[in-house]
C-alpha cells in the first residue's frame, strides 16, 4: 500500500542539527512532490517547505530560510529534511506528506517524527 | 506569509451540521482554487478531507463538503457523528509559491 515511513524520534541539544528521513513505498516516487510540516506541542500545523522528487527543486518557508535543507534520494525513494541551529522552539512533531500537484492537497502523510531540543 | 484565520472552536450535537470558516486574502484563498482541509485526531497524523476547494478524496464520507466565496473557504460537516470530533485545519497555496495553514479549529460533538 502507499505509505511514507519516517525515521524515529530524536533528542538534540541546542545548536545542533537534525536530519529526518521519509521513505516512500507503493507508488512512483518521481510522480509526487514531498512537503514537510511540523507541529509544536499543543500548537497548529506549520508548513516548512516543499521539494520536487522529480527535479529536486525546493521552496522553503521564510521563517526557516537558511536553516533548513530538503533533499531526496531517488535510488531509495527517500526524502530528507535537515534543520540546523536548533533551539527549544524547534521541539515538534515533524511530518512528511505527498503532494501530486498544487491543488491536490497532501494526501498521504508519514507517521510523524518527534524531535526534542533540550540541554 | 500570515496564517489563515479559523475559529478556535465549534460545536454541534449528533446529527446536526456545522461549518468551519477559513479566511485569507486575495493572495491565497481568494486567488487560487487550491484550498484543502485536514482532520487530525489527538496523537495522529493529519488526514486529507477536501482538496481543490470542494473535492473529496476516495474514502472520505460525503458528509464532508467544501466551498469558497471570495477570500473565505468553508468546510461543512453534516450529520455530525462522535467520530468527527477532532481538530480541523485549512490550507491554501499562495502567490509566494508556498503553502499556508490556518490556526486550526477544534470540533466538539456534544
CB distance A103–B34 less than 8 Å? yes
Number of Cβ within a 10 Å radius of residue A67: 15
Q: Are strands B9-12 and B105-109 parallel, antiparallel or unpaired?
A: parallel
Return residues 23-62 of A near B (CB < 8 Å): 35, 37, 44-47, 49-50, 59, 61-62
Query: What length does chain A have?
Result: 119
Give me the residues of A, 85-104, that contact B with CB < 8 A: 95, 97, 102-104
Tens-level pLDDT at each residue, chain B (110 residues): 688 999 999 999 999 999 999 999 999 999 999 999 999 999 999 999 999 999 999 999 999 999 999 999 999 999 999 999 999 999 999 999 999 999 999 999 99
- What φ, ψ does residue A95 adopt, rounded to 5°? -115, 145
- The string of pLDDT tens digits covering residues A54-92 is 999 999 999 998 999 999 999 999 999 999 999 999 999
Q: What is the pLDDT of residue B2?
A: 80
Residue B1 has a pLDDT of: 67
Query: Who contacts A53 (Cβ-Cβ below 8 Å, separation ≥6)?
Result: A29, A30, A31, A32, A33, A34, A72, A74, A79
Phi, psi of B30 (to 5 degrees): -75, -20
pLDDT of residue A93: 98
Q: Among the listed ranges A9-13, A115-119, B65-69, B94-98, which one has the minimum average pLDDT value?
A: B94-98
Q: What is the pLDDT of residue A84?
A: 98
Cβ of A47 within 8 Å of Cβ of B100? The answer is: yes
**Which residues, listed in sequence order, are joined to residue A96 by a DSSP beta bridge?**
A36
3-state helix, strand, coil in chain A (%, to 5): 5, 50, 45
Helix/strand number for chain B, H first, E second:
0, 9
Amino acid at each position: 500500500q502507499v505509505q511514507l515511513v519516517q525515521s524515529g524520534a530524536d533528542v538534540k541539544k541546542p545548536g545542533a542539527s537534525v536530519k529526518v528521513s521519509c521513505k516512500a513505498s507503493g507508488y512512483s516516487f518521481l510522480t509526487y512532490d514531498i512537503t514537510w510540516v511540523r507541529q509544536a506541542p499543543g500548537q497548529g500545523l506549520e508548513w516548512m517547505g516543499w521539494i520536487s522528487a522529480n527535479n529536486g527543486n525546493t521552496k522553503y518557508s521564510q521563517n526557516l530560510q537558511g536553516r533548513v535543507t530538503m533533499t531526496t534520494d531517488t535510488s531509495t525513494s527517500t526524502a530528507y529534511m535537515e534543520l540546523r541551529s536548533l533551539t527549544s522552539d524547534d521541539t515538534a512533531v515533524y511530518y512528511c506528506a505527498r503532494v501530486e500537484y498544487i491543488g491536490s492537497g497532501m494526501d498521504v502523510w508519514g507517521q510523524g517524527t518527534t524531535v526534542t531540543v533540550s540541554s | 506569509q500570515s496564517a489563515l484565520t479559523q475559529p478556535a472552536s465549534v460545536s454541534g450535537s449528533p446529527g446536526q451540521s456545522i461549518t468551519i470558516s477559513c479566511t485569507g486574502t486575495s493572495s491565497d484563498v481568494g486567488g487560487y482554487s487550491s484550498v484543502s482541509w485536514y482532520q487530525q485526531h489527538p496523537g495522529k497524523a493529519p488526514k486529507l478531507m477536501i482538496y481543490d476547494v470542494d473535492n473529496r478524496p476516495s474514502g472520505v464520507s460525503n458528509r464532508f463538503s467544501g466551498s469558497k466565496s471570495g477570500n473565505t473557504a468553508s468546510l461543512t460537516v453534516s450529520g455530525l457523528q462522535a467520530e468527527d470530533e477532532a481538530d480541523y485545519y485549512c490550507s491554501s497555496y499562495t502567490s509566494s509559491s508556498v503553502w499556508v495553514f490556518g490556526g486550526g479549529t477544534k470540533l466538539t460533538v456534544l
